[in-house]
Amino acid sequence: DTEVTQTPKHLVMGMTNKKSLKCEQHMGHRAMYWYKQKAKKPPELMFVYSYEKLSINESVPSRFSPECPNSSLLNLHLHALQPEDSALYLCASSQDWRGATEAFFGQGTRLTVV
Amino acid sequence: TQLLEQSPQFLSIQEGENLTVYCNSSSVFSSLQWYRQEPGEGPVLLVTVVTGGEVKKLKRLTFQFGDARKDSSLHITAAQPGDTGLYLCAGEDNYGQNFVFGPGTRLSVLP
């Protein structure tokens, strides 16, 4: 099983809403990632969790709040977003976050902020 | 910051043609990966290359890692419309500190 599952697939939210994106993997991977991808651009790293601890925060605004409840789950809590935050949000996982590891991506959540 | 460049940025070819896309850096990478992404979907891992000079084949796709581990190429033989997509290279620097994506090559194979 090389699947990373993201829910929801699409999300429309207002600027005052609070919502959460969810990601799940059952490959026993110990590193999980959130990426943001704007149209016609490559994915940009937001956060890295390694062994359920936040290892990298790429200067992401606090309106994005990641959470790793256990080794299989990764959430991204959203609050007071701006229209420019509209993008495809991708979750990925890998065996570890260092070394020649292969990252497997979910299908993404298409987020629209209105 | 390790930077990856990809060329060409866009490529439109007819079905049956061969093509090569490139991924280059001035830095050494411990590994490079190639992904294919379709619109609205997540990237799908195609291959990982680790050893300098390594060549890997995946059906009609041939991947090569440069001897100095600074560049890689993807060659597609007899392209098909199903090969259409965004091809991204991604790599981890030699210190295991950074994992970065190139800007991608957008391939369109016309029937």
Query: Residue B34, Cβ neighbours under 10 Å: how many?
Result: 25
| Confidence band for B97, pLDDT divided at 50, 70 and 90 | low
Question: Residue A104 and residue B99: Cβ atoms within 8 Å?
Answer: no
Nearest by Cα to B45 from A105, A109, A27: A105
Beta strand pairing call for A109-113 and A10-13: parallel
Answer whether A96's CB lies under 8 Å from A51's CB: no
Mean pLDDT of A32-52: 92
Distances (CA, A) of A83 to A7, A14, A52, A79: 20, 9, 30, 12
pLDDT tens by residue, B1-30:
558 999 999 999 999 999 999 999 988 888
Mean pLDDT of A31-36: 94
As a whole-number percent, the residues of chain A with pLDDT over 70 amount to: 95
pLDDT tens by residue, B59-94:
999 999 999 999 999 999 999 999 999 999 998 766
pLDDT at B103 over 70: yes
Query: Residue B104: which of A4, A6, A42 has the nearest Cβ?
Result: A42
pLDDT at A99 over 80: no
| Confidence band for A103, pLDDT divided at 50, 70 and 90 | confident
Whether residue B43 is preceded by a cis peptide bond, meaning omega within 30 degrees of 0, is no
Q: Torsion-angle region of residue A40: left (phi > 0), alpha (psi -120 to 50) or beta?
A: left
Nearest by Cα to B83 from B34, B36, B21, B24: B36
Report B:43-102 residues touching A (Cβ under 8 A).
Answer: 43-45, 48, 50, 88, 90, 92, 96-97, 99-102
| Chain A contact present for B3, CB below 8 A | no
| Confidence band for A59, pLDDT divided at 50, 70 and 90 | confident
| Confidence band for B95, pLDDT divided at 50, 70 and 90 | low
Q: Which residue of B has its CA nearest to A102?
A: B48
Mean pLDDT of A25-42: 93
CA atoms of A108 and B3, how far apart (whole Å): 24
| Confidence band for B100, pLDDT divided at 50, 70 and 90 | confident
Question: Residue B40 and residue A41: Cβ atoms within 8 Å?
Answer: no
CA atoms of A58 and A35, how far apart (whole Å): 10
CA atoms of A26 and B67, how far apart (whole Å): 36
**Rg from Cα positions in chain B:** 13
Residues of A with Cβ-Cβ distance to B43 under 8 angstroms:
43, 90, 105
Q: Looking at CA atoms only, how far is residue A14 from chain B in angstroms?
A: 21
Question: Residue A105 and residue B35: Cβ atoms within 8 Å?
Answer: yes
Answer whether B66's CB lies under 8 Å from B51's CB: no
Query: Residue B101: which of A42, A88, A97 has the nearest Cβ?
Result: A42
Question: Residue B31 and residue A97: Cβ atoms within 8 Å?
Answer: no
